[in-house]
Structure 1
Amino acid sequence: MEIERKFLVKQLPDQLEQYQCKIIEQGYLSHNPTLRIRKSNENYLLTYKSKFGIGQDENRTAKVENEVEVPLNEESFLHLKAKTDNHMIVKKRYLIPLEEGLTAELDIFKEQLEGLRLVEVEFASEEAANRFVPPVWFGKDVSLDRRYTNGYLSTVDSYNF
């Protein structure tokens, strides 16, 4: 299960280059349920995400989904990439340690989404997600705004909202 909160970025943290960085390219084969391919540096994954069995909760502040990841090889990734109708996202992801053993995953988008910066934090429980106090460099909470899901972002021609 994946429990995460997502925020816009008010300002980039200082000395960003000191943090581990990944170059990510990902695309979507299906949006409901989500079927995604991802290249992260030289690792390739197929990810299935679904809300199956997760009840609706109007008081929920975090995005909650079932998630399964399966490794791919480069050949399989490229084969599936051709089926994404060029709906690919390219971004740099910085892994920034936070208090309580949490990690901020700061995404700086490239190409058609240039200018968009989002940060996600994953949690062990919804209670932990609800207690989370974001650092000052985090901006508006967009966890439940579907316009900021990577699946939706893969379908837009530019970041203009």
Structure 2
Amino acid sequence: MEIERKWMVAGWPEGLPLEEEFFMRQGYISVRPTVRIREEALTGGKTQWILCFKSGGGLAREEIERPIDQTLFEELAAKIIGKPLIPKLRRSYRLADGCVLEVNHVDEGQPGEFWYAEIEYPTIAAAENWAPGALGLGEYLADEVTGQPGQSMGEYWERTRG
């Protein structure tokens, strides 16, 4: 089960220590249900290739992720998807309460480029009770879009590549 909230943001947060950074490429075999591949290259580290299945929407949804090898990733990207993958730069920041804020810059340099932030939680109650203002992030995380139609990466894929 994946439990997360999502916000549209304008750029990287200020004053938070960077924990890690990944360059990613992802594409969709299916949007409903979600079947996605993603390459995750850790800055200064290793690269992983992931096959992901998701169902449901909103605050909590089922998610299954499995590692795949680079060859399968490239074959799926070229032969099944056949469209340009979405590039993303993700930076993670550990917050004072232990949560991890993940901020993503999507399709940099393209007309539709945008930024969003997410936080995953251990329980639905923790997600519902978490308040960005308590950590001084109220202004940065003012535009919450959790569960709003048209705000998922799958829907962005459909608008831009589908």
Q: Percent identity?
A: 28
Question: What amino acid is aligned across from residue 119 of structure 1 in structure 2?
Answer: A
Equivalent-residue separation in structure 2 for 1:35 and 1:130 (angstroms) = 27
Q: Which residue of the other structure, out of 149, 152, 156, is the alignment partner of 1:149?
A: 152
Pair 114,15 (structure 1): closer, same or farther in 2 beyond 3 Å: farther
| Unmatched segments (≥5 aa) in structure 1 | 55-61
Q: How does 1:8-157 map to 2 (within 5 A)?
A: 8-10=8-10, 12-14=12-14, 18-41=18-41, 42-51=47-56, 63-82=59-78, 83-86=80-83, 88-111=85-108, 112=110, 115-134=113-132, 135-136=137-138, 137-157=140-160
| Unmatched segments (≥5 aa) in structure 2 | 42-46
Contact 1:23 1:92 in 2 (8 A): yes
Q: How many residues align?
A: 149
Pair 16,81 (structure 1): closer, same or farther in 2 beyond 3 Å: farther
Question: What amino acid is aligned across from residue 123 of structure 1 in structure 2?
Answer: Y
Q: Normalised by the size of structure 1, how large is the TM-score?
A: 0.83
Pair 38,91 (structure 1): closer, same or farther in 2 beyond 3 Å: same
Equivalent-residue separation in structure 2 for 1:79 and 1:65 (angstroms) = 28
How far did residue 36 of structure 1 move?
A: 0.5
How far did residue 98 of structure 1 move?
A: 1.4
CA RMSD of aligned residues (A): 2.2
